[in-house]
Structure 1
């Protein structure tokens, strides 16, 4: 990779980190906790950046959807409605996806849209992880692994090489935790 591309990759990563910081701050100002998922969640768990990411993925409680969407729009994010349980945003060429979850009557964590996806009871950790001065909660590694394993069911797309690599890294993280 030439220096020009390395510079662009670095700028993209730094822009995404700034967006993670900004969205997390907005969410906390609403007394809501967000959780990172996907590739950025893995990086925060490891405390280092493993690769360039195409987007930023978050999870939030459904009851915070409207105030969070309004606050992000006021902060200059373009809103892109996706479904009843997902909203995407765009700011400074950074794509952000927020999946909204709820508790069932039995107390389970449910993410709809896949068609109804019941998550592990410990999916939403309250531990903050730090990376380059940014501090945020991430999904439990076991939940991240389950999400990767069910990726094809939810999206209808085949697992990509980065998904297999992510599963390997997540399994290493889980192994180190045990």
Structure 2
């Protein structure tokens, strides 16, 4: 991925792969570089989005505008989830 890019994930990614819309979605889920998260946040806020509470900001950043939520899961440059995300996933699985 280029430095300032993101990739679709979740429901919309599946529908894109299928080539058709199978149901409505109330959000958009993406993957993006962790080291670009602050710049992404600044740009989205400049465009009228508000950052909303969600998972810890070290693992995901969530934004909303006009009733649409957009979540950006953060990955590091070796294409893995950030260390904080990995720890949260392990804790969730252990429950």
Aligned equivalent of 2:81, options 103, 107, 111: 111
Deviations 1:22-72 (A, max 9, x none): xxxxxx8xx522111110001111221111113110110011111110000
Query: For this pair of structures, how many residues does the alignment match?
Result: 88
Residue in structure 2 matched with residue 63 of structure 1 by the alignment: 35
Aligned equivalent of 2:68, options 94, 101, 111: 94
Q: Distance in 1 between matches of 2:88 and 2:27?
A: 24
Given that 1:114 and 1:153 are in contact with CA atoms closer than 8 Å, whether structure 2 keeps it comes out as no
Residue in structure 2 matched with residue 53 of structure 1 by the alignment: 25
Q: Distance in 2 between matches of 1:69 and 1:49?
A: 28
TM-score by length of 2: 0.78
The structure number with the bigger radius of gyration is 1
* Larger proportion of helix: 1
TM-score by length of 1: 0.44
Aligned equivalent of 2:93, options 138, 153, 160: 153
1:111 aligned counterpart, secondary structure:
coil
Deviations 1:92-128 (A, max 9, x none): 100111111003xxx4x221324276xxxxxxxxxxx
Tell me which stretches of 4 or more aligned residues in structure 1 moved more than 6 Å. Answer: none
Structure 2: give runs of 5+ residues left out of the alignment. Answer: none
Structure 1: give runs of 5+ residues left out of the alignment. Answer: 1-27, 118-151, 157-178
